[in-house]
């Protein structure tokens, strides 16, 4: 029988002083399936992560050596060295993604402040990969199954959200949501669109953004044959999504989506960058410097991100 081809899927541990090396080692030791894991980074960091987590790495693990560290960092202590290393890994990985040496990537948590010491203005993985690939329209899909949320605005002050909402921006986010469902192999699913105000404004009684901006954006998306519905009262949108009414929910601001999803399962939260020419998923937690080195970290988010990436790669392959 011919052995079935397994795509090569990259993994990073993020900041070498955070919990990334430990969750990576735990995930690898559990026997990841669906793709061939390829780790990018310093082999010493990966092996120390396994020692700290008290697990064994697969004997045939492929590690692409990148950004060798002069000294292994102390767990929990990020620095310019750890930031430079995390950035070097991303830059090498980016070259291999564009050259199709790997089909996608699952990223571990980085310490943005450390990376900014060597690259001022660095925002995060999402923006790095978008710039690398020349992607103009992109978004971060937050997932804790069965809930999925895509945000119109993210890291801005709540007082600035109303002014940032436009018909075009909301329509574009709905289009990205539809693309996300296609990339997950679920084309044509219904998308719920939240309102901004309590009760979705109640026809202008508690604000008029729903009437002026959100409803026209939904109408524009529907003219594109996208199954978008709303504006929905935000306090019931995710309850309806959980029972299967929507495949994805569009949120107007950061906490509108993050609060219900993290309540649903903080240790299972993952995100996927929508719009890239390759698959990229990630854990939805930080470097957890306070427990780095203790071996007590939970690899659940990384494992969930791995299997979501495998699902997305299979959907892309089937669509070709």
Q: What is the pLDDT along the chain (320 residues), one digit of tens a residue?
A: 334 558 999 999 999 999 999 999 999 999 999 999 999 999 999 999 999 999 999 999 999 999 778 889 999 998 999 999 999 999 999 999 999 999 999 999 999 999 999 999 898 898 999 999 999 989 889 999 889 999 999 888 999 999 999 999 999 999 999 999 998 889 999 999 999 999 988 888 888 999 999 999 999 999 999 999 999 999 999 999 999 999 999 999 999 999 998 888 766 788 999 999 999 999 988 898 999 999 999 999 999 999 999 999 988 888 77
Looking at the fold, whether 177 and 263 belong to one and the same domain comes out as: yes
CATH of the domain at 11: 3.40.718.10
From edge to edge, which strands make up the β-sheet containing 8-11? 62-65, 36-41, 8-11, 104-107, 279-283, 270-274, 139-144, 147-151, 248-251, 191-194, 228-232
Residue 131 and residue 144 in one domain: no
The pLDDT of residue 167 is 98
**Which regions of the chain does DSSP assign to beta strands (E)?**
8-11, 36-41, 62-65, 104-107, 139-144, 147-151, 191-194, 228-232, 248-251, 270-274, 279-283
pTM above 0.85, yes or no: yes
303 and 30 in contact (C-beta within 8 Å)? Answer: yes
Which pLDDT score is estimated for 104? 96
pLDDT at 3 (0 to 100): 42
**What pLDDT sits at residue 266?**
67
Q: Parallel, antiparallel, or unpaired for β 139-144 and 147-151?
A: antiparallel
* DSSP-derived pairing of the beta strands 228-232 and 248-251: unpaired
Do 103 and 123 lie in a common domain?
A: yes
Answer yes or no: do 178 and 261 share one domain.
yes
The whole-number pLDDT of residue 61 equals: 96
> Using CA atoms, how far apart are residues 132 and 277, in angstroms rounded to an integer?
11
Neighbours of 66 (CB within 10 A): 19
| Separation CA 205–CA 200 (nearest Å) | 9
Q: Do 185 and 286 reside in the same domain of the chain?
A: no
109 and 198 co-located in one domain:
no
Structural domain harbouring 131 = 1-135+276-320
Q: CA 108, CA 106: separation in Å to the nearest integer?
A: 7
Residue 124 confidence (pLDDT): 87
pLDDT at 318: 81
Q: How many domains does the chain have?
A: 2
End-to-end CA distance of the chain: 25
The C-alpha R_g of the chain, in whole angstroms, comes to: 20
One domain for residues 33 and 84: yes
**Distance, CA of 48 to CA of 53 (rounded, Å):** 8
| 8 Å CB contact between 192 and 248 | yes
Q: Do 11 and 123 fall into the same domain?
A: yes
What is each CA distance from 250 to 24, 195, 236, 273, 274, in whole angstroms? 31, 9, 13, 15, 13
**253 and 183, same structural domain?**
yes
Please, are residues 153 and 280 in contact by the beta-carbon 8 Å criterion?
Answer: no
Looking at the structure, tell me whether residues 5 and 64 fall in a common domain.
yes
């Amino acid at each position: 029988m011919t052995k079935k081809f397994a795509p090569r899927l990259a993994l990073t541990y993020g900041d070498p002083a955070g919990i990334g090396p430990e969750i990576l080692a735990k995930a690898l030791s559990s026997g990841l399936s669906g793709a061939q894991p390829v780790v990018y980074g310093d082999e010493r960091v990966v092996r120390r992560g396994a020692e700290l987590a008290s697990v064994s790495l697969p004997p045939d693990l492929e590690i692409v050596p990148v950004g060798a560290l002069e000294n292994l960092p102390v767990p929990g202590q990020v620095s310019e060295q750890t930031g430079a290393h995390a950035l070097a890994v991303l830059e090498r990985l980016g070259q291999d993604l564009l050259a199709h040496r790997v089909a996608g990537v699952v990223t571990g948590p980085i310490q943005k402040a450390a990376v900014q010491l060597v690259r001022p203005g660095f925002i995060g993985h999402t923006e790095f990969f978008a710039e690398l690939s020349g992607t103009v329209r992109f978004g971060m899909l937050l997932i804790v199954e069965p809930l999925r949320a895509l945000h119109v605005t993210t890291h801005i002050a709540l007082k600035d959200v109303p002014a940032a909402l436009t018909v075009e921006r909301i329509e574009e986010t709905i289009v990205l949501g539809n693309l996300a469902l296609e990339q997950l192999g679920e084309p044509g699913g219904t998308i719920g669109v939240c309102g901004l105000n309590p009760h979705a404004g109640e026809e202008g009684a508690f604000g008029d953004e729903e009437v002026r901006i959100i409803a026209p954006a939904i109408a524009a998306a529907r003219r594109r044959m996208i199954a978008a519905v709303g504006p929905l009262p935000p306090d019931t949108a995710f309850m309806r999504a959980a029972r299967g009414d929507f495949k994805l929910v569009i949120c107007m601001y950061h906490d509108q989506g993050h609060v219900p999803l993290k309540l649903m399962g903080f240790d299972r939260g993952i995100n996927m960058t929508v719009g890239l020419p390759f698959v990229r998923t990630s854990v939805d937690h930080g470097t957890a410097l306070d427990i780095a080195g203790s071996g007590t970290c939970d690899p659940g988010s990384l494992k969930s991100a791995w299997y979501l990436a495998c699902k997305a790669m299979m959907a892309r392959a089937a669509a070709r």
